[in-house]
Each structure stands twice: as structure tokens, then as C-alpha cells.
């Protein structure tokens, strides 16, 4: 196969141009748009407690203390980092958390009800049931009951 004179240079120019556009310019443009339009989400959706970062609302955190609600075991999720549980899972944990903390169970049930996230995508209603973000629920508990959770404040984990 014979390469005609002058055909290699334009091909190399196109490859270099596409590398610059798709490898540098496009990613930088998306980062700039993300940082200006959705800074909380583009920085990892990091949640804070008393001014300290305790985790991302997008990734499950491991809580070993019985004073906290617990995420699903990693083997029950496809990614192993699902931060949500169903409302029924949260309700089933309320009694144990109540016994460990002394917080009335009916108050914990109310907190769960207030933390249920409804599916906001109209086309996915049937495929995305309501859920509770475990980290957000635990942070709210620590804020409401700082004395009960004093040993954990600032760490986000028990």
C-alpha cells in the first residue's frame, strides 16, 4: 500500500487536534460548567457536621455503633456503596437505635419520615422507590442530640 505525498500531515494534525479538544478543552469546559452551575454536587456532595467533613451523601458510610442507623450490607448493592435504605429498613432499625440511645422510638420514626427522599424523576417513578439517606439521617440525629452523640461528633462514624 502506497501512501500518497501530503496525506500523512493532515491526518496527524487531525489526531493532535482531537486529542487537544477531547482530552483537554472539553474536560476543562465541563469542570468549569460543573463548578459554576452545581458546586456542591461537582465537589462530591460532601456533608459536614460541626464544620468537619463527615462523608459524601452519595457514598455509604460504615457505622458500627448501635446508636446509628446502618446502611445496607455491601453485598446487597451492585456497587457496594449505596448510601440509601428503604423506609421499611429504617423503621426496622428504629427500635434498636432507640434502645441504644434512649431517644423515643416514635421520635425516630418521625425523623425517618422527614428524611424520606421521594423520587423526583417523573419517568422513573416505577423504578426508583422512596429511600432514606443513612448518613443524612445520622447527621440529623447527632445535631438534635449532641449529648447522646458527643463521642462521635466530628468523626461521623461510630
pLDDT digits (tens, 9 = 90+) for 21-67: 999 999 999 999 999 998 888 888 788 777 787 778 777 777 888 99
pLDDT digits (tens, 9 = 90+) for 121-145: 555 556 667 888 888 999 899 888 9
Residue 58 within any structural domain of the chain: yes
Which pLDDT does position 129 carry in this prediction?
76
Which pLDDT does position 156 carry in this prediction?
44
In this structure, are 29 and 88 located in the same domain?
Answer: no
Confidence of residue 116 (pLDDT cuts 50, 70, 90): confident
Which pLDDT does position 17 carry in this prediction?
96
In this structure, are 119 and 71 located in the same domain?
Answer: yes
Specify the pairing of strand 116-117 against strand 84-85.
unpaired
Name the residue among 49, 51, 81, 83 with its Cα closest to residue 69: 83
Task: Give residues with Cβ within 8 angstroms of 49, minimum separation 6.
Answer: 139, 142, 143, 153, 154, 156
Cα-flanking dihedrals φ and ψ of residue 63, to 5°?
-120, 120
In terms of pLDDT, which residue wins out, 18 or 123? 18
In this structure, are 105 and 127 located in the same domain?
Answer: yes
Tell me how many domains the chain contains. 2
Residue 157 within any structural domain of the chain: no
In this structure, are 99 and 39 located in the same domain?
Answer: no
In this structure, are 73 and 117 located in the same domain?
Answer: yes
Residue 156 within any structural domain of the chain: no
Look at residue 77 and tell me whether its pLDDT is greater than 60.
Answer: no
Residue 154 within any structural domain of the chain: no
Amino acid at each position: 500500500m502506497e501512501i500518497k505525498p501530503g496525506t500523512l500531515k493532515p491526518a496527524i494534525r487531525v489526531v493532535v487536534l482531537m486529542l487537544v479538544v477531547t482530552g483537554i478543552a472539553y474536560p476543562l469546559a465541563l469542570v468549569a460548567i460543573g463548578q459554576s452551575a452545581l458546586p456542591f454536587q461537582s465537589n462530591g456532595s460532601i456533608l459536614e457536621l460541626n464544620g468537619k467533613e463527615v462523608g459524601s451523601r452519595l457514598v455509604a458510610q460504615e457505622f458500627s455503633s448501635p446508636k446509628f442507623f446502618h446502611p445496607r450490607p455491601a453485598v446487597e448493592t451492585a456497587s457496594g456503596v449505596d448510601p440509601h435504605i428503604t423506609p421499611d429498613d429504617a423503621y426496622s432499625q428504629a427500635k434498636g437505635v432507640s434502645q441504644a440511645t434512649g431517644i423515643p422510638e416514635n421520635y425516630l420514626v418521625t425523623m425517618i419520615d422527614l428524611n424520606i427522599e421521594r423520587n423526583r424523576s417523573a419517568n422513573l417513578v416505577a423504578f426508583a422507590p422512596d429511600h432514606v439517606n443513612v448518613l443524612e439521617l445520622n447527621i440529623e440525629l447527632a445535631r438534635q442530640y449532641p449529648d447522646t452523640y458527643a463521642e462521635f461528633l466530628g468523626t461521623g462514624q461510630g
